[in-house]
A and B are shown apart, each in its own frame.
Chain A
Amino acid sequence: MLTSATLPPFEQVVERHGLDVWRFAVSQVGRDRADDVFQETMLAALAGYPALRDAGAVRSWLLRIAARKAVDEFRAAARAPVPVADPDGAGLVAAPEPADEELWARVRSLPTKQRLAVALRFVLDLDYADIGDAMQTSPEAARRNVFEALRTLRQRFGPHAASPAAVLSGEGPRR
C-alpha cells in the first residue's frame, strides 16, 4: 500500500517536473507571468503533498494544479493592465520570450480548454490520456480540444505535415 511514508522529498518533485511546469506556464501566460504561475503551483503542491496518496501519480497531480493556476493567472491578466517590468528585474526570469510570439499570441486567444490541451500535447508531449488526467476530462475530449486548437492555428499559420485528420484518426504522440 502506498502511504505518505513512501513519498520522496518534495525537492525531487521540483527537480523532475519543475522545468516542465515553468515551460507550460510560459505557454499559457507568457514569460513575464510564468514565474508567478510556477511559484503558485509549487506552493499549492507543497501544501497538499503530504496527503498525496499515490507517489506514482505526482506528475499528473502537479499538472492539474498547474493548469488551474495558469487559468487563474490568465483571467487575472485579462482583467489587469500589463504589469510594468520591475526595473532591476528582481524575481523575473529573464529568459527570452518564445521566439514565435505571433503564434503564442494566437494560442492565448484560444478557448481555455483548447489553450490548455494544445500546450499539454505539444509543449509537454503528453498523450491524450495524460492530458485528460491533467484537465480532468476524457481522452476523447482532450483529443477533440487539441484538434480544434490545431485547426484554428492552421487557419492562420498555414498547412503542415501532420494533418488534423491524423490527430482524429488516433495517431498517437511521438514517443
Chain B
Amino acid sequence: MMTIERRLADIAAPPAPDWARLRAGLAERAHAEGLLDVAYASVDSPLGVLVVAATPAGVVRLAFDNEPGDAVLAELAARLSPRVLEAPARLDTVRRELDEYFDGRRTNFDLALDWALTGGFRRKVLDATARIPFGRTGTYRSVATAAGSPNAARAAGTALATNPIPIIVPCHRVLRSDGTIGEYRGGSGRKGALLRHESGRDAAPREW
C-alpha cells in the first residue's frame, strides 16, 4: 500500500493545452492590470523563427534566430523591465502584418513603434531609414545626410547594425556606396533575401 507521503505527492500537472490556456489567461490579465511591461511572441517567417517584443507603446524589438532567444529576453528584462511574459495575443497585429509582408501583400508596416532601445543620432538614422520606401535603397552616406550629419556614414553604419527592429525599420534597404550589400544584424544572407523579395525577383524571400 502506498504511504500517505507518496499519495500526497501525487498531484499531477495539468495537461499541456489547459496549461497553455491558463498561461495565456495570465498574460491577458497582466496586460489588463497594467503589469505587462514587455510582451513577446515567436513568429514563423521564411527567414526563420523571429522573436518579436512589444511594450504598451509599440513594437520594441525584433530578433532573428542568429541571436539566442534567452539573451534577447534577458536584454529586454535588463534594459526595459523584468516584467516580461510570452503573450502571443498581444502580438497578433504584428504577426499578421509580417505574414502579409512576406506574402507580398504589404509594402509598408502600419505599427506603433517604441524606440526605447535606441536614441540620439542612432534614432535619427533609423528615422531616415524608415522613410526609404519598399523596393528602393539608400546608402550609409545618404541616411547619415538625412540624419543631419553627412560625414557620419560610419556612425550611421553602427546605428543600422544595432537596429532593434529590423525588417519593420528597413535597415536592409541601406547599402554601401560602392553598391555592395554591407552587413546586417540577421546576416548578409537575410539582407540579400529581403532585397530580392522587394525587387520582385523572388515571390517570397527564401532561406539564404
On A, residues with C-beta under 8 Å from B are 4-12, 14, 18-19, 22-23, 26-27, 35, 38-39, 42-43, 46-47, 49-50, 91, 93-96, 98-100, 103, 107, 118-119, 122-123, 125, 150, 153-154, 157-158, 160-162
Contacts and interface: CB of A to CB of B under 8 A. Distances in A.
A14 B14 contact: no
A162 B4 CA distance: 9
Contact of A93 (B22, B73, B86): B22
B26 A91 contact: no
Contacts of A10: 77, 82-85
B8 A50 contact: no
B41 to A, nearest CB: 11
A174 to B, nearest CB: 9
Contact of B82 (A4, A27, A39): A4
A9 B18 contact: no
Contacts of B22: 22, 35, 38-39, 93
A43 B26 contact: yes
Interface in B51-108: 73-74, 76-78, 81-86
28 contacts: A5-B78, A7-B82, A9-B77, A9-B85, A10-B84, A10-B85, A11-B73, A11-B84, A12-B73, A19-B13, A22-B19, A22-B22, A23-B13, A27-B8, A27-B11, A49-B83, A91-B21, A93-B21, A94-B14, A94-B15, A95-B13, A98-B12, A100-B7, A103-B7, A103-B8, A160-B3, A160-B5, A162-B3
Interface stretch (B29-37, B42-50, B180-188, B199-207): B29-37
Interface residues of B, number: 38
B110 interface: no
B9 A123 contact: yes
B154 interface: no
B11 A123 contact: yes
What 9 A-B pairs have minimum CB-CB distances, sorted nearest first? A9-B84, A122-B8, A7-B82, A160-B3, A93-B18, A95-B14, A9-B77, A9-B73, A93-B14
B29 to A, nearest CB: 6
Give the interface SS of chain A, mostly helix, strand, loop or mixed. Answer: helix
A95 B86 contact: no
A22 B14 contact: yes
B23 interface: yes
B10 interface: yes
Contacts of A49: 82-83
Contacts of A103: 4, 7-8
Contacts of B13: 19, 22-23, 95
Contact of A123 (B8, B15, B73, B82): B8
B10 A150 contact: no
Contact of A8 (B9, B26, B82, B85): B82
Given A23-B11, A103-B7, 15 more contacts: A7-B82, A9-B38, A10-B77, A10-B84, A22-B19, A39-B25, A42-B26, A46-B30, A46-B35, A93-B14, A93-B19, A93-B22, A95-B15, A99-B10, A153-B4
Contact of A14 (B10, B77, B85): B85
B35 A50 contact: no
Contacts of B15: 94-95
Contacts of A153: 4
Given A7-B82, A11-B84, A50-B82, A19 B9 contact: no
B18 A94 contact: yes
